[in-house]
Amino acid sequence: MTTDSDSLRITDWAMEDRPREKLMAQGAAALSNAELLAILIGSGTPKMTAVELMKLVLHDCNGNLNTLGKMSIADLMRYKGVGEAKAVTILAACELGKRRQREKAEERADLGSAQAIYEYMHPRMQDLDVEEAWVLLGDQSVELGKAVRISHGGISETAVDVRVIGREAILCNATVVALCHNHPSGNNRASGDDDRITQRVEKACQTMRLYFLDHLIITDGDYYSYREAGKL
């Protein structure tokens, strides 16, 4: 088994190959994803630098950091030179990236378009392996007041209770409602059940004099908007 003392540490590399020094001299934006990850893990293997090791991992993720963030600790530990501590560090960094994206969306808190709603909800839903439904509640300026998860379901469906939506809207003094749920399969097409849920929520909103802004089906990288499709 390779130990940390056997690994090729960043301080053992040629000066021009040291990502830490490169960051200090040129800034973080000058580094590749592999170089940034190499700084986090600190060392590779006797035959492979940390940068080369991270290039290998990213290659298997098609260079996509979202795919990297979906890997498990066990997945990462299959790579020689990646132990539990390094795997945890990599996933912690991915999670921080997701949280930063989420906080940036919350600063804007704009529900004025399907794209804006998607950008707000995507960080919350991109890695889910089961369906969840959320209701976004806003005011007449179409700014977010509150986001509430109203159900957590199975792989292919989740329940939506219009009474829960109505209660949350009253408690928040909302005048605008948007519904979002994810499709873990990656297929963003609306099903018959999705259509029926949309119709029930629309009818409930009309009864309560709430503006039903949209119903979005969210996948990792795309969305379906009932409003944009002309079905609201």
- 109-225 under CATH 3.40.640.10, yes or no: no
* Positions of E strands within the chain: 132-138, 144-152, 176-182, 211-219, 222-225
Per-residue pLDDT of 26-61, as tens digits, reads 888 889 999 999 999 998 898 888 999 999 999 999
For the chain, counts of helices (H) and of strands (E): 9, 5
Instruction: Write down the mean pLDDT value for the chain.
Output: 88
Question: What is the model's pLDDT at position 63?
Answer: 92
Domain boundaries, the chain: 4-102, 109-225
pLDDT band with cut points at 50, 70 and 90 for residue 5: very low
Per-residue pLDDT of 153-206, as tens digits, reads 765 556 789 999 999 999 999 999 999 999 999 999 999 999 999 999 999 999
Strand order in the sheet with 132-138: 144-152, 132-138, 176-182, 211-219, 222-225
For residue 95, how far is the Cα from the chain centroid?
Answer: 9
Question: What is the model's pLDDT at position 127?
Answer: 85
**CB atoms near residue 10 (< 10 Å):** 20
The mean pLDDT value for 115-136 works out to 92
- Please tell me what DSSP assigns to residue 176: E
Percentage of the chain surpassing pLDDT 90? 62
Lowest-confidence pick of 5-14, 47-56, 122-131, 133-142: 5-14
Question: What is the model's pLDDT at position 1?
Answer: 41
As a CATH number, domain 4-102 is 1.10.150
